[in-house]
Amino acid sequence: MLKSPFFTITLTALTCTSFTSIADETTQTVNNTVVLSDGSAVTLPFHIEGQLTTALLSIIDSKKARRFIDHDDFKPIEIKCDGKGTGQGIGILYFQNITASPVGAYAETVNTFAVQRKGAADLPLPCLSEQASQQEKMNYLLAAQQILVAANEEKMTAAEPLDYAMYNQHLELNNSAAIRAGIEIWGYPKSQAEFNYRIDDQYVDLQVFDEPSGRAILGFTYQRQIGMQTPLLSVGDNVLPQSLLPSPELHAQLSGMLSSTSGWVQPFNGYFWVGHAKSPTAKALRKLRFDPVAVIEYVNVKGTAYPLYSK
């Protein structure tokens, strides 16, 4: 699907200044080492560096998103108009080209959507018309990130599990050691896939194929550097499937951080498609009607994944 590049970005900056009050790394956790089933050791927090992390933003079907949540405490965030649900939610598909990590280099996709803890107050999101333009959707999704940050600030400062987070539905990776670490340390739902990608000054091009079937999972191409250049900082929680929880003494939830001193916020100008593989990623993207309208690029990205919250 081809997207038009003609947008006016109304967000003045995406840098989340409210994160400056977050507890620093030493107060969140001390370094500890986890020994995996193959005998290898991984030290936490888990630090990564990468050429690029791309976040594609989309309005999704929030009612169908419920079917993909394996967690009793969370539900999809639903956009409401006049107090009534519209069936619209917030989805983010990540592509990461990681060049350095405790388990080596890898590429991955992470399919996520916004969720809230059951019993927590609804976010004060404005109404979004089902007939909204691509530009209106883009500006809405960018503004929604700031609303989510503000709602989490108190618990984030206290280093407590957040009420508003991103549910990680499924991840595709091309590194078996990264898959093993993700599953055994946190309970991430990960699968092996083949990645073909090109990242240059003008375009990002990606195709992901299921292994061993070879069937296509997803692909996209988009034009780079057509929006606003800005430092980026993203801090928040990932919620994971409870059925993969490695210990009953832990929550299926962790804090993570991404940063870039020279990121980009821009419209999605390119093509996006979902293949016919039986992959959980492909199935969810089809059902949720994922259709990106905006891109957040973390260039020369640095990131940290913390241990699961303790009960």
What pLDDT score does 31 carry?
A: 81
pTM of the model: 0.91
Burial class (CB in 10 A: 0-12, 13-18, 19+), 311: exposed
Q: Say how far apart CA 103 and CA 57 lie, in whole Å.
A: 28
The model's pLDDT over 135-192, given as tens digits with 9 standing for 90+, comes to 999 999 999 999 999 999 999 999 999 999 999 999 999 999 999 999 999 999 999 9
List phi, psi (to 5°) of 100: -150, 130
What pLDDT score does 152 carry?
A: 96
Residue pair 177/191 in contact by the 8 Å Cβ criterion: no
What pLDDT score does 126 carry?
A: 95
Question: Which of 5-9, 67-71, 107-111, 181-185 shows the lowest mean pLDDT across its residues?
Answer: 5-9
Over residues 49-63, mean pLDDT:
98
Write out the chain in H/E/C secondary structure: CCCCCCCCCCCCCCCCHHHHHCCCHHHHCCCEEEECCCCCEEEECEEEEEEEEEEEEEEEEHHHHHHHCCCCCEEECCEEECCEEEEEEEEEEEEEEEEECCCCCEEEEEEEEEEEECCCCCCCCCCCCCCCCHHHHHHHHHHHHHHHHHHHHHHHHCCCCCCEEEEEEEEEECCHHHHHHHHHHHCCCEEEEEEEEEECCCEEEEEEEECCCCCEEEEEEEECCCCEEEEEEEEEEEECCHHHCCCCCEEEEEEEEEEEEEEEEEECCEEEEECCCCCHHHHHHHHCCCCCCEEEEEEEEEEEEEEEEEC
Who contacts 288 (Cβ-Cβ below 8 Å, separation ≥6)?
Answer: 60, 61, 64, 65, 68, 89, 91, 113
The model's pLDDT over 200-223, given as tens digits with 9 standing for 90+, comes to 999 999 999 999 999 999 999 999
Q: Say how far apart CA 39 and CA 60 lie, in whole Å.
A: 41
Judged against a pLDDT cut of 50, whether residue 4 lies above it is answered with no
What pLDDT score does 157 carry?
A: 92
Express as a percent the part of the chain with pLDDT over 70.
Answer: 90
Residue pair 299/262 in contact by the 8 Å Cβ criterion: yes
Average per-residue pLDDT for the chain: 91
What pLDDT score does 25 carry?
A: 39
Q: Say how far apart CA 127 and CA 140 lie, in whole Å.
A: 9
Over residues 260-289, mean pLDDT:
97
The model's pLDDT over 217-257, given as tens digits with 9 standing for 90+, comes to 999 999 999 999 999 999 999 999 999 999 999 999 999 99
Over residues 269-276, mean pLDDT:
97
What pLDDT score does 130 carry?
A: 87
What pLDDT score does 8 carry?
A: 34
Over residues 263-283, mean pLDDT:
97
Place 10 in a pLDDT band, splitting at 50, 70 and 90. very low
What pLDDT score does 56 carry?
A: 98
Please, what are the domains in the chain? Answer: 17-310 (2.40.400.10)
